[in-house]
Structure 1
Amino acid sequence: MTAPAGPPRRERPELRPTPQLRPGRVVAGLLTLVLVIGAGWAGWNYIGTNVLAKQRQGEMAVALADEWKGNREGDATSDKVRLGQSFAVLRVPRFGGDFEVPIVSGIDDDALTSGVGWFSDTQRPGEIGNFAVAGHRITNGQPFRKFPDLRAGDEVEVETRTHVYTYELQNSGTDTIVDFTEIWVVQPVPERAREADDQRSDAKPTEALLTLTTCSEIFHTDDRSVVFGKLVDTQHV
C-alpha cells in the first residue's frame, strides 16, 4: 500500500548577499556633500552678504538724510556719536558718480556691514589730526572693492550734518601696504608715529588728515592697503 502523499515541500528562498558599501562611493558622496556646502557658503559670502549689506547701507543713508533735514545748524563735531551709529557719508568719485556709503562709528563686523567703519579713537571729519576709516574690499557690500584704482590727487568727500569736507589723496591705493598690527597709520601724525618704536607719537598735529584702509588682497590676508589724504576744502551745508 502506498503511503499518503505529504504536503508539498517548500523550497527555501535563495539567500542573497548583503550589498557592501564600496569605499570609493562613500568618498565620492562625501566629496559631493562638501562641494555643495562649500558652494552654498561661497554664494552666501560673496553674493548674499553683498545684497543684504547694500540694502542696509541704503536704508541707513536715507535715514541719515531724513535726520539731517532742517537740522544743519552748529557744528557736527560736537554731536554725540555712539558705537554702531552712522554720522556721516563717504563719497569717492573714483569709485563712481553714485558711490555713497554711510560712515559708522566702530570697526566691528556690525559697523563694517552697515557701511565703512570709523576708528572712534581718531579725530572727527574736518578736525585737526587724523580721521581714519576702514571698509571691506569684498563681501558685506564691498565698498572698497575698487581701492587699488585710487590715485594720488583723487578727491574724497565726507559729509556730516553741518559740513562737507573734501580731502585730496597723497598716494595711490597700492602704494602703501602694512601688516594689520601696524597702528601708526591711524595715529594723529602718522609719519611721526611710523618712526617711533611703539608706533605712537606725542607730536602735535597741525593738519586735518584722512586715512582709508582695507584688505590688500581680495581673499583672507593680514595685510592692509592704506591711502592718506589732506583736507583741502570745507563747505557749510
Structure 2
Amino acid sequence: MKMNRRSDEINEYRRLSGRLLIIAGCLLMAAVLLVNVIDYVRSRTAVSQFAKEKEQMIVVSNENDQQKEQQISGQNEDIGETDTEDALTMQERLEKGELLGVLRISKIDLEEAVKEGSSSSVISSALGHMEETALPGTIGNCAIAGHRNYVFGRFFNRLNEVEAGDTVEIETLNGIYQYTVTESYVVEPEDVSVLSQDTKQSELTLITCTPLFVGSHRLIIKGTLQNETGR
C-alpha cells in the first residue's frame, strides 16, 4: 500500500514538473516574441520618423530658395537668415545622435533605419553607423553594423543572400546613394581591417554576425558607390 502511494506521488511530481516546464517554455517564447515585436515597432517608427523629417526639410529648403530668389530680385530686401534648425546638416545630426538615414536592399526586402553608433542600445532597434568611419556618399569606408534577428528578414538576418552585383541603397537628408556589392567574405571578430579608411573612393562595408544563432565570426559585405542623387 505504501509502495503504491509512493509511486503515485512520484508520478504526480513528474506530471507537475512536466507542466511547469511547458509553462516556462511558453513564457520564454512569449518573452522573445514580445522583444522582437517591440524592436520591430521601434524600427518602423524610426523609418517613418526619417521620412517625415526629410519631407519637412524639403519644405524648409524650398522656402529658403524662394526667399533667396526674392532677395535677389529685390522684392524683399529685409529678409534675414531663416531658421534652419529643421534642416540640420548630416554632421549636426550625428552630434545630436539622431537618425542618419535609411538603408535598403531590395533583393532581401530590407528597409531599416540607420543611426549613429554601434552600441547595443542603438543596434537593438536599428542599424548602426560605426563611429570614425566615412559618412554615406563621401570618400572613405562607410561601415554599418547590424544584428541578425531571430525573426526572418529582420535587420541583417538575410544578409548572407546578398551577392556581388546586388545594390545597396542608403538615403540620408543629403541624398540617395547606391552602392554595388563587389564581394562578401567571413572574418574573425577581432579583424578590424574591414574598417580601414585607406581608400580614394566611396566604399560601403556591412557587418553582421555569422553563422546565424552562433555568431562566432563576422560576415562582411563590401560595395562601391555607383550612383547618387540629390535630396
Of 131-140 and 163-172, more deviation after overlay is shown by 131-140
The gaps in structure 2 that reach 5 residues or longer are 62-86
Q: 1:95 aligns with which of 84, 108, 112?
A: 108
**1:71–1:35: structure 2 CA closer, same or farther, 3 Å change rule?**
same
Aligned-pair identity in percent equals 25
Structure 2 partner of 1:124:
135
Larger-gyration structure (1/2):
1
Structure 1 partner of 2:203:
209
Q: Which amino acid aligns with 1:33?
A: L
State the shift of 1:24 in Å.
Answer: 6.2
**Equivalent residue of 2:229, what SS?**
strand
Q: Which has the higher helix share?
A: 2
| Counterpart-to-counterpart distance in 1, 2:210 and 2:154 | 13
Q: Does 1:113 align with 2:98?
A: no
State the shift of 1:75 in Å.
Answer: 8.8
Counterparts of 1:149-188 in structure 2 under 5 Å?
149-172=161-184, 176-188=185-197
Structure 2 partner of 1:58:
44
TM-score by length of 2: 0.75
| Counterpart-to-counterpart distance in 1, 2:169 and 2:46 | 18
State the shift of 1:221 in Å.
Answer: 2.2
Q: Is the 8 A contact 2:107 2:162 kept in 1?
A: yes
**Equivalent residue of 2:100, what SS?**
strand
By relative contact order (CA 8 Å, sep 6+), the higher-ranking structure is 1
Q: 1:222 aligns with which of 209, 216, 222?
A: 216
| Counterpart-to-counterpart distance in 2, 1:27 and 1:186 | 55
| Counterpart-to-counterpart distance in 1, 2:14 and 2:229 | 65
Q: Which amino acid aligns with 1:37?
A: A
State the shift of 1:26 in Å.
Answer: 4.1
| Counterpart-to-counterpart distance in 2, 1:107 and 1:55 | 19
Q: Does 1:104 align with 2:115?
A: yes
Number of aligned residue pairs: give it. Answer: 200
Q: Is the 8 A contact 1:83 1:105 kept in 2?
A: no
**Equivalent residue of 2:219, what SS?**
strand
| Counterpart-to-counterpart distance in 1, 2:160 and 2:28 | 26
